[in-house]
Amino acid sequence: MHAKEFQKRSLLRIFLSYFKPHRKLFALDLSCAFTVCLIDLAFPLATRSALYQLLPDKNYQSFFLLMGAMVLCYLLRSFLQFVIAYWGHTFGIRVEADIRRDLFSHLQSLSFSYYDNNRTGQLMSRLTTDLFELTELAHHGPEDLFTSILTVIGAMIIMFTVQWKLALVVCLMFPVCLSVVIFRRRKMGKVSKMVKQRTAGINADIESSLSGFRTSKAFANEEAEYDKFSHSNERFKVSKREFHKEMGIFHATMEFFTSILHVVVISVGGYLIMKDQMDYRDIITFSLYIASFVNPIRKMAALSEMLANGLAGLQRFVEIMRTEPTVQDLPDAEELTNVQGAIQLDHVDFSYKEELPVLTDVNLEIRAGETIAVVGPSGGGKTTLCQLIPRFYETSGGVISVDGKDIRHVTQRSLRANIGIVQQDVFLFADTVLENIRYGKPGASFEEVVEAAKRAEIYEDIMEMPEGFDTYVGERGILLSGGQKQRISIARIFLKNPPILILDEATSALDSITEAKIQKAFDELAKGRTTLIIAHRLSTIHAANRIIVISEGRIREQGSREELLERNGVFAQLYHTQNLVEGKF
């Protein structure tokens, strides 16, 4: 289902739609639960028959046959309970897996702007904790509701046939119990949702602290991080305390009503015996049925807690699924093929927020195979400009074209498949060197990976590592140097072999010696490709055919280095300032 379908459907319809692929398991679960109910309802009837007929008539053989039959029924019941526990939970896990699959897939479809505004830890909580609650609800929810209703109705029918007056008293008490369940469930639901929100907040804080623990140690700020965590943890404790308070009130009230039912049966039954309107054996039967009657109420009490948690998780799941990507393919979007690499920006405007324009009326034409350097003061819009070309964000106005095709009219996947990006902050997965390079072309052969590593000037470094290409790089590549990480990211691009290349300040965090090595790899990488180099250090743009100067969201100048120096404008000012600073060392 797409976001619009989730927007149209109710929570219940969305939840039940995940049952459909596993309906056979669901039917097996309910069938077993139905049979268990019948066995539970049969025992008091068998007891009443024995007390009224078999024992008074001294028909002991039939009595023991009946008890033997009940033993067989309870053996069957035990087997059915195993089926419910095993296959019922299997059903719940499969539903959870399907929901998690759709959630992860949808998260992948969401645009950069969504991740700009949502913390990773909170999204992790929605993919894990919230969905566990949904598993329990998927398995136990329908089953417990079905068996509870069936048991209550069955028990009431039989009790009315035994003594309608006493059954009527029990029947009148049931709506009171049900009203308490509904009222307290709503209370718990509100508190449960708040707990989940705060749990997600704690997960986000923990994720942030763990990711930045090297920084906190470097600044000797462990105590400050601990204080931040303690504050979040305290908020969680308070919200949990509120939830447990509501849960305690709920269970205490339910225990009172379920226990008082026995007192009511004995009191009213005793009165009816005094009036010769009832037999003591019927009171025994009623007491057995009250036990059957009370069990569903207890289940509904547990169900209400489960429902409160599950619905809170379901609402948070649906909230994400109803979120539409800000960048979407048009229904008739075409595949971008045979890309030469010509790029044109025609009167392009962009702003992250309407009141804060980042780019204004940008016009730029880049020939296929041309190398363009994009320079300018920090915050001028260099990186934003290059993020618009792969359509990570949607332009506020104007048109961007690749080979004359408006990028809004081609699929995002095919567009990005033809663009290679090397960023300053390289992200490596917690995997081997081999798999991190192969990420540029999943399924690439080992020989192709080796060739890409050689072209990226990283092969010799890899051969010196303990396990060669099978060396584990650590979380975000922490076990490698900055230069090694950068060259692995370059090897990915060699493997991907895209016609358009974007280098986003890819060497600004490296020392001069490492930068010189990587610059050689970049020069090799840029051959025959349309290349945009976002540069902080002007020394890295010697290979550029043309330099674009962006300041305050506009293209202020463009031309060769010599031409721009002669103009003595923004570029010349940047150039002389950088030379002055570097000359001090």
> Are residue 456 and residue 522 in the same domain, yes or no?
yes
Q: Are residues 313 and 366 in the same domain?
A: no
Q: Domain boundary at 321, 354, 371, which?
A: 321
Residue 394: which domain range?
343-583
Closest-CA residue to 185 (of 144, 246, 102): 246
Are 553 and 358 in contact by the 8 Å Cβ rule? The answer is: yes
Report whether 58 contacts 100 (CB < 8 A).
no
Q: Model confidence at 35, in pLDDT bands (50, 70, 90)?
A: very high
Residue 144 predicted with pLDDT over 90: no
Cα–Cα dist 482/460, whole Å: 16
As for how many domains the chain has, the answer is 2
Range with the poorest average pLDDT among 232-236, 398-402, 404-408: 232-236
In a domain? residue 153: yes
Convert the pLDDT of each residue in 469-508 to its tens digit: 888 887 777 788 877 888 888 888 888 888 998 888 766 5
Amino acid at 257: F
Torsion of CA 163, 166, 170, 172, to 10 degrees: 110
Contact 571, 549 (CB under 8 A): yes
Q: Give the number of other CB atoms < 10 A from CB of residue 519.
A: 18
pLDDT at position 189, please? Answer: 67
Which candidate, 565, 567, 577, places its Cα nearest to that of 536? 577
Rounded to the nearest integer, the mean pLDDT of the chain is 82
Among 307, 324, 308, 312, smallest CA distance to 7 is for 324
Read off the pLDDT of each residue in 119-139 and give the average, rounded to a whole number.
Answer: 75
Quickly tell me which residue has 């195979």 as its tokens: 369
Same structural domain, 315 and 418: no
487 contacts 461 by C-beta, under 8 angstroms: yes
Give the Cα separation of 173 and 418 in Å (integer). Answer: 70
Co-location of 32 and 106 in the same domain: yes
Q: Is residue 74 part of a domain?
A: yes
pLDDT reported for residue 584: 41
DSSP state, 497? -
- 259 located within any domain: yes
Q: pLDDT-derived band of residue 406, with 50, 70 and 90 as boundaries? A: very high
What digits encode the pLDDT tens for the residues 149-171? 888 888 888 888 888 888 888 88
In a domain, 327, yes or no: no
Q: Are residues 124 and 249 in the same domain?
A: yes
Residues 400 and 434 in one domain: yes
Residues 202 and 240 occupy one common structural domain: yes
pLDDT exceeds 50 at position 585 = no
> How many other CB atoms are found less than 10 A from the CB of residue 153?
13
Q: Write the Ramachandran bin of 477: left for phi over 0, alpha for psi from -120 to 50, otherwise beta.
A: left
CA 507/CA 514 separation, integer angstroms: 9
The SS3 of residue 152 is helix
Tokens matching residue 177:
């119990």
Query: For residue 555, what are the β-bridge partners?
Result: 550
In a domain, 331, yes or no: no
Question: Above 70 in pLDDT, residue 5?
Answer: yes
Give the pLDDT score at 442.
87
The answer to whether position 518 is within a domain reads yes
Q: Are residues 379 and 266 in the same domain?
A: no
**pTM over cut 0.85:** no
In this prediction, residues 422-448 reach a mean pLDDT of 85
Whether 279 and 403 map to the same domain: the answer is no
Instruction: Check whether residue 316 and residue 349 sit in a common domain.
Output: no
**DSSP helix, strand, coil percent of the chain (3-state; round to 5):** 65, 10, 20
CATH number at residue 455: 3.40.50.300
Residue type at position 553: G
What's the pLDDT at 89? 85
pLDDT for the residue numbered 155: 83
Q: Which one, of 321, 309, 310, lies nearest residue 104 by Cα?
A: 321
Residue 156 CA, distance from chain mean position: 45
Picking from 321, 355, 387, the residue at the C-terminal end of a domain is: 321
Would residue 328 count as lying in a domain?
Answer: no
The domain that holds 98 is classified in CATH as: 1.20.1560.10
Could you tell me if 339 and 402 are in contact, meaning their C-beta atoms sit under 8 angstroms apart? yes
End-to-end CA distance of the chain: 60
Which residues on neighbouring strands pair with residue 546, listed in sequence order? 372
Contact 204, 121 (CB under 8 A): yes
User: Has residue 326 been placed in a domain?
Assistant: no
74 CA to centre of own chain: 43
**Residue that finishes a domain, picked among 289, 321, 353:** 321
Exposed (0-12), middle (13-18) or buried (19+): which is 558, by Cβ within 10 Å? Answer: middle
**What number is the average pLDDT over the span 45-65?**
81
More confident residue, 96 or 1: 96
Q: Are residues 275 and 349 in the same domain?
A: no
Q: Percent of the chain beyond pLDDT 90?
A: 10
Same domain, 315 and 348: no
Q: Is the pLDDT of residue 402 over 60?
A: yes
Torsion of CA 208, 213, 217, 219, to 10 degrees: -30
d(CA 103, CA 99): 6
